[in-house]
Amino acid sequence: MKKTSPHTAFLIIDVQRDFCPGGRLAVKQGDLVIPVINRIARLFPVVVATQDWHPAGHVSFASSHRGAEPFTAVETGGRLQELWPDHCVQGTPGADFHPALDLRPVRFIVRKGFRAGMDSYSAFFENDRETATGLDGLLRGLGATDVFVTGLATDFCVRATALDAVRLGYRTFLVEDACRGVDRPAGAVRRALEEMEGSGVGLVFAEELAAAYAAEGSAAETD
């Protein structure tokens, strides 16, 4: 793998307290992505972090639907909506980035899912597939052509972000060891990885990125 170019963006998806162990919608071992992300984020010229940023009573909360249980689905607004425990409510500690995440390399924060009646998995679009979050315009304004996606969760927001990045024309990579998934039902993470790879997403590991930088640095020293 070649070193990332000045036109490369690094996306950190939803590494928030509520999605990590101890949170309201914890992803198993979700906190293990943090040291990996911290190690490689500084290698990128543009780093963007996203936050789920839901109002109380959000459409994705099971508690907003009489008699509904988390991890089921209902039809609302003409769309099938997965239902979750209340999570990442605006202004609550659970919506904060995990305290171990190093935010110093982060240049921009994109908040999504803040409309009460619409969920948002992708960092690029709300779940109606039409309402933009503004991330595409931001990246194009910065001259980004490639994106590397990390964070939580592999089979939901990470997957949706990576697939949209490909659809929008970005050369897209998933840093596999910098992601963790819900994997509900079992096998969902594997299927998400297969879908992403089949759609043109490159699967890489953090060590490949670190090695590419180290190799180019050594070559520069010998020139």
pLDDT of residue 62: 97
In a domain, 78, yes or no: no
In a domain, 85, yes or no: no
Three-state secondary structure string covering 22-53:
CCCCCCCCHHHHHHHHHHHHCCCCEEEEEEEC
| pTM (two decimals) | 0.93
pLDDT of residue 221: 45
In a domain, 101, yes or no: yes
Domain extent, residue 170, equals 8-55+95-222
In a domain, 167, yes or no: yes
pLDDT tens-digit readout, 46-102 = 999 999 999 999 999 999 999 999 999 999 888 899 999 999 999 999 999 999 999
Identify whether 112 is a catalytic site residue. yes
Which of 18, 112, 155, 164 is labelled catalytic?
112
55 touches 111 (CB < 8 A): no
Identify whether 88 is a catalytic site residue. no
Q: Residue written as tokens 């779940």?
A: 127
In a domain, 61, yes or no: no
Identify whether 28 is a catalytic site residue. no
At a CB cut-off of 8 Å and minimum separation 6, what does 110 contact?
48, 49, 50, 51, 123, 133, 134, 135, 138
Cis peptide preceding 185, ω within 30 of 0: yes
- DSSP category for residue 130: S
Question: What is the C-alpha separation between 168 and 166, in angstroms, rounded?
Answer: 5
From the number of C-beta atoms within 10 Å of its C-beta (0-12, 13-18, 19+), residue 49 rates as buried
In a domain, 217, yes or no: yes
CATH number of domain containing 162: 3.40.50.850
In a domain, 82, yes or no: no
Question: What is the C-alpha separation between 47 and 105, in angstroms, rounded?
Answer: 6
Q: Which of 53, 82, 58, 59 is nearest to 70 (CA)?
A: 82
Question: What is the C-alpha separation between 122 and 110, in angstroms, rounded?
Answer: 11
In a domain, 71, yes or no: no
SS3 state of residue 84: strand
Question: What is the C-alpha separation between 147 and 150, in angstroms, rounded?
Answer: 10
Number of independent structural domains in the chain: 1
- Ranges of the chain with pLDDT below 50: 218-223
Which of 14, 31, 136, 164 is labelled catalytic?
14
Distances from the Cα of 153 to the Cαs of 113, 120, 212, in angstroms?
A: 15, 13, 26
130 touches 78 (CB < 8 A): no
Which of 20, 88, 157, 179 is labelled catalytic?
157
